[in-house]
Structure 1
Amino acid sequence: MKRKNYGRSRLRKIMVFAMAVIIIFGTFIIYTQLTAPKKEARSEATTLARKYAKLKTVKNFYWYNRQRTYFTVTGQNTSGQDVYVVIAQKGGQINIYSHDKGIDEQKARTIVQRDQQPRKITKVAMGMWQKKPVWEVTYLNKYNNLCYDLISFKDGSLVKTIQNI
């Protein structure tokens, strides 16, 4: 009698272990598939930034979607200057902006915090709006509604806002 229970218990443990392995492996596969487009975009944008902006080190990568999609790579060029390299997904147009010619991500966050008092900032990304560099700050307002502000890279002014999406 005990041998039968022992066999069932052992089989049950093996089945639980096998299911755990399958779940972990499946989760890994799904995660890999979901993050692949961003990794590929980052890799391609970094390659272009290194080639055309002479980027030596890479600090950040941003993915911006509004009227068009832009990838922005930040870092330091071979001259030691901090730059933003904004690359259009279609057409591959590349714009290079010196870090000291505008505001940075933290300043854009501070502007939105001061003006909108958001509950939570969910995303900050640099891109282009009407041929001008902007910071897109996406956030949840005090009513937990999704909002976004476009902040001018040049002077920190509000370019566009959409509230309560």
Structure 2
Amino acid sequence: MHNRSSERWRRWALVAGIIVVVLSVIIFFQQAMHPYNKLRSQAESIATRSAQVTHIDGFWWNTRDQSYLTVAGQRNHHAVYVIIKQKNGAIHVVRQNAGTTRNQALSATWKQHDPQRVISAALRYQGKRLVWDVAYKTKQGRLGYVSYSFRTGKQVELIKNI
């Protein structure tokens, strides 16, 4: 009799321990993602309110030289990117069909640089020129950055083997 209750107690203790670990991991990841999710929510709110964007379907955060937030969505039945300079809140709206897409920049990166994986791809201003920045990891484990002109799709900058 004593053996059965001891086994039950151990089972319950094991189940409780697993539940505590799982909940701890979930809470940890929620806390880790909170700044990103808060920033995304703010950027989407700005795009909706200031640029009249509806049907949001993308968000990217570029922190290379300065921090830029990009929201993709629809405005007046046209697909647009809303680029927000995080430092001063300056907003620029460009039609997506006025240049290359994120997928085109990613395809060019895969074709030209054959990375192990792409880390990020987002819009930013380089001076007055809008560019797609793609960060990637090489098969040798090094970092690389390549920038493509939004308007033409041509490579404008390459930093390899960091």
- Please tell me whether residue 120 in structure 1 is matched to residue 104 in structure 2: no
Q: Which moved more, 1:38-47 or 1:116-125?
A: 116-125
Q: Of the candidates 48, 71, 79, which is equivalent to residue 50 of structure 1?
A: 48
**Structure 1 equivalent of residue 78 of structure 2:** 81
Q: Of the candidates 139, 143, 153, which is equivalent to residue 156 of structure 1?
A: 153
Q: Of the candidates 98, 102, 108, which is equivalent to residue 105 of structure 1?
A: 102
Structure 2 unaligned regions, length at least 5: none
**Structure 2 equivalent of residue 96 of structure 1:** 93
The CA RMSD over aligned residues, in Å, is: 1.3
3-state SS, counterpart of residue 118 of structure 1: coil
User: One-letter code of the match for 1:56?
Assistant: T
Separation in structure 2 between the aligned mates of residue 57 and residue 127 of structure 1, nearest angstrom: 22
User: One-letter code of the match for 1:106?
Assistant: N
Deviations 1:98-136 (A, max 9, x none): 111110011101221222122322221122222321111
**Structure 2 equivalent of residue 144 of structure 1:** 141
Separation in structure 2 between the aligned mates of residue 32 and residue 95 of structure 1, nearest angstrom: 31
Q: 1:4: Cα distance to partner?
A: 2.0
Q: 1:144: Cα distance to partner?
A: 2.7
Q: Which moved more, 1:124-133 or 1:47-56?
A: 124-133
Separation in structure 2 between the aligned mates of residue 67 and residue 137 of structure 1, nearest angstrom: 13
What TM-score, normalized to structure 1? 0.92
Structure 1 unaligned regions, length at least 5: none
